[in-house]
Structure 1
Amino acid sequence: MFNEKGFISIDCGYVEQDYMDPNTMITYTSDAKYIDTGESVRNLNSALSSQYQSLRRFTQGKRNCYNVTSLASNRKYLIRASFVHGNYDSSFQIPKFDLYLGVDLWYSVSFQSFSDQVWAEIISLIKSDHVVVCLVNTGHGTPFINVLELRPLPSFMYTIVNGSWSLTTLHRIDAGSLSTVTLRYGSDPYDRFWVPYTFKDWIALNTSSTIIINQNNQFQPPLAVMQTAAQSSNRSTGINISWEPPTWAPDALFYFNFYFALTQVVANSTRVLTIFLNGERWGEPLNLLSPTMHWSGTLNPERRSQKYEVDIRAYTFSDLPPIINAFEIYMANAPSSSATEAQD
């Protein structure tokens, strides 16, 4: 188990004493000292984990803000807000509202159903010893929040995150995992959410052997994520991944990482990958020779087209089909200085 030093874990709307989550062993606290507006509500659904059995809703005012203090200034933080509506108010109406980090739009929160668990995540350099997170009513129902979490990151991680760029998570996928549970703290010391996913035409692979991950790698995917992989159904079929910007950020730049490692060594066979981005070869072929992590991704934020399509194929001289272990896709934002400083 890792040390959760520096974690700030807020159970929004919760009014009792601090408690330890039995699954993650993370200690959660009430939001009472971080906000003085809104209404605490219990969501009496025993199927929900502890953090989702309470929430804070904001029926008054257009903009309601948390002021989270006791941060380490000039430090990168992963900040995550989580939401489950659960029809807590018996309204049978699903709201839509905006989330801001300081004065900058962070995320537009919407739901497909009452049971949806929606989480918004941003990695940002926080220059002061506190940060302001705001929920803004857009006229489409009452804003609410269940959980607000802040996780400090080492300076060597996600080096693109500085005073010029922050990263909003679009997808973070644990490919080939057959689990139904999102992997997080306990397996990932930085408490990133890795969502398990295997497309119907992918073959799930896994290993209990150690995957070598360079300690100097700036992304540090957790071992448990690298021990699973998805393989295409045959050598002539590629692994296809595509995404578009959300409607609320149509001009967003992208920043993405793909991770590969052998989970099975097949005697006298090669596994060499070629990556195509929007139909054009991207980078050099990756020759997976051993259970060592390989990375391919962007060095700087970019935008080539409205829709991004990645096709991972077996190289001409590869004996085995292509695989992928995990990937992260972010939107890169240029934060205004007041979003992460103390003045506002």
Structure 2
Amino acid sequence: MRLFKCSVFSSLVYFAHVLLIVHSQEYQSDFINIDCGIPADSNYTDSYTGLHYVSDSGFIDAGESKTIPPAYRSSSLQQQLVTLRSFPQGTRNCYTLKPVQGRGNRYFIRAWFYYRNYDLKDRLPQFDLYLGVEKWDTIYFNQTTTRVQKEIIHVPTSDYIHVCLVNTGLGTPFISALDLRYFNRSMYTHDFGSLKLFTRVNFGESFGYYRYKDDIYDRYWRSSDYFNSSLLYNSENVTRYFGVYNLPAVVMETAIAPENTSNPLKLEWEPTNKSDQFLIYLHFAEVQKLQTNQSREFNIYLNGNLWYDETITPYDVITLTVESVAPEKPESKYEIVLQKTNTSTLPPIINALELYTVRKFRQPQTDDQDVGSIVDIKSVYKVRKGNWQGDPCAPQAYAWDGVGCSYNDSISPRITSLNLSSSGLSGKISPSISNLTMIISLDLSNNNLSGEIPDFLSQLTFLRKLNLKDNKFTGSVPVDLLSKSESGLLLLCTDASLGGGGTNQCPPSSSENSSTARIAASVVSGFVLILIAVIVVL
């Protein structure tokens, strides 16, 4: 096992701790806090956490705003849970987040769900939650008052993070709030996959919870005094330094020990799925002022085997964390035993625990440049097609209407066709189209587009069909486009008044997807072979 210790002098640690307290508000710049269902463009500062929440209207363009009826609210109900967004229409509805730090960074994402009979149907729904193009978890409720939180630590391969709700036919999907936090690179470092939270526990308190501002990353710590244990707490008012994982001081100032000091301290749990692989994080700090004749030393066992090969002696000023170095093998039940050594005069203790299951997201998302282009096109033309949400190409079953893609198991999908015929478009042709570098077919016919036909369309290397008929363009067709058309490299369809291309007969748009898919497979495969050949030569 790997043992994390603070490697700087205590005075420097104290100085860093003070800075974190003084400047904790600055961490909000790394937060995205979304209250789902509140009016568009509205915002507020939460009275409990001091976090600034915004409406979800800028992150999704579907769904219906709903409110928990006053008769079903308690005085302690968090403000973010009063409203929600419900999705009675469509199979998949997605929030799109674009954190400023971009891809390759570590983020903590949390989704909140609070049914509380908001629809007055008293029927508990069940639906799926997706992160990107793959399933994250299933959302279900034991009773109407159940509050469900799903948390995951994730390193996206794309600048765009899609959180999607998928209707599985067991009730209307909804969501109450959505949070994203940027994590320090030194925390939860691993390459095993994403970490889905199983539990996060603050030992030593029997009720309540802590989050921001106590926890600068807004992790949610639920309290537990645990069965057959006794409470220990910091009576000396000694500051607990955060250590690598920046745990809240209020969490580390309490701990539990076995009720009978001669016994070991046991922690048990059962996995939700038998195939789950756990990563375990145990956090320790001494909370008592030990006398010269006192000592606290113990060993850690997992399912009867020595889990960490060094004796644990909690520090009295620094949080000590022991964690899995690899996912634990699947078991039907887990038991951690903290057993004091023969020379120890005091029983073992533990202050906090985190359990995560490993979730591997293997399916690639659509190429980021293509996503950025199509998202910008959607924004410029205010496209409101029903399923234009989330990833435009993946999963393949949820590909956007009018968007054709190429698929390869080892590379990201690419957009190869775009059909926006009869979509009410107006204004000039968006320059973002020029970034769809693998596009083969583009249909913008029967709209109100105006201005000149841009020359950048001729720079699209793989473009083989371009339909611009029945718009309000002025000027003439660019020379390079005409040249491609005359040489047979491009099927160009324009109004005769623009000169050239007017006599060409474009095939119906409905037949585009199948033919384009065949062309796309050939073109993309050829492109990959060329790229491999270049690499081999180099």
TM-score, L = length of structure 1: 0.92
More strand by share: 1
8 A contact 2:302–2:337 mirrored in 1? yes
CA RMSD of aligned residues (A): 1.9
- Is 2:174 aligned against 1:144? yes
User: What one-letter code is carried by the residue in structure 1 that aligns with 2:180?
Assistant: L
8 A contact 1:41–1:54 mirrored in 2? yes
Question: C-alpha distance in 1, partners of 2:326/2:246?
Answer: 18
- Describe how 1:118-133 pairs up with structure 2 within 5 A: 118-133=148-163
Q: Which moved more, 1:38-47 or 1:325-334?
A: 38-47
- Describe how 1:241-320 pairs up with structure 2 within 5 A: 241-247=267-273, 250-267=274-291, 268-283=293-308, 284-288=310-314, 290-320=316-346
Note the C-alpha offset of 1:167: 0.6
Question: What's the counterpart of residue 167 of structure 1?
Answer: 195
Q: Deviation per CA, 1:270-292, whole angstroms, max 9, x where unpaired?
A: 11122110011221221235343
User: What one-letter code is carried by the residue in structure 2 that aligns with 1:258?
Assistant: L
Question: C-alpha distance in 2, partners of 1:196/1:71?
Answer: 33
8 A contact 2:34–2:55 mirrored in 1? yes
Note the C-alpha offset of 1:141: 1.7
Question: What's the counterpart of residue 110 of structure 1?
Answer: 140
Task: Tell me the secondary structure at the aligned position of residue 225 of structure 1.
Answer: helix
Note the C-alpha offset of 1:128: 2.9
- Higher relative contact order structure (alpha carbons within 8 Å, sequence separation ≥ 6): 1
Structure 1 residues 314 and 340: CA distance shift in structure 2, 3 A: farther
Question: What's the counterpart of residue 198 of structure 1?
Answer: 225
Note the C-alpha offset of 1:304: 4.5
- Which of residues 91, 94, 97 is equivalent to 1:65? 94
Question: C-alpha distance in 1, partners of 2:195/2:137?
Answer: 11
Task: Tell me the secondary structure at the aligned position of residue 30 of structure 2.
Answer: coil
Question: C-alpha distance in 2, partners of 1:182/1:262?
Answer: 21
8 A contact 1:270–1:289 mirrored in 2? no
Task: Tell me the secondary structure at the aligned position of residue 142 of structure 1.
Answer: coil
Note the C-alpha offset of 1:173: 0.5
User: What one-letter code is carried by the residue in structure 2 that aligns with 1:297?
Assistant: E
TM-score, L = length of structure 2: 0.60
- Describe how 1:179-198 pairs up with structure 2 within 5 A: 180-198=207-225
- Paired residues in the alignment total 336
More helix by share: 2
Q: Which moved more, 1:220-229 or 1:75-84?
A: 220-229
- Is 2:50 aligned against 1:25? yes
Note the C-alpha offset of 1:339: 5.4
Q: Deviation per CA, 1:135-166, whole angstroms, max 9, x where unpaired?
A: 11222222111000000111121111x5x511
Same amino acid, percent of matched pairs: 37
Question: C-alpha distance in 2, partners of 1:331/1:339?
Answer: 22
Note the C-alpha offset of 1:70: 4.3
- Is 2:13 aligned against 1:13? no
Question: C-alpha distance in 1, partners of 2:208/2:100?
Answer: 30
8 A contact 1:102–1:338 mirrored in 2? no
Unaligned runs of 5+ in 2: 1-20, 372-390, 392-538
- Return the index of the structure with the highest Cα Rg: 2
Q: Deviation per CA, 1:89-142, whole angstroms, max 9, x where unpaired?
A: 122222222111011211221222222221000111123332100111222222
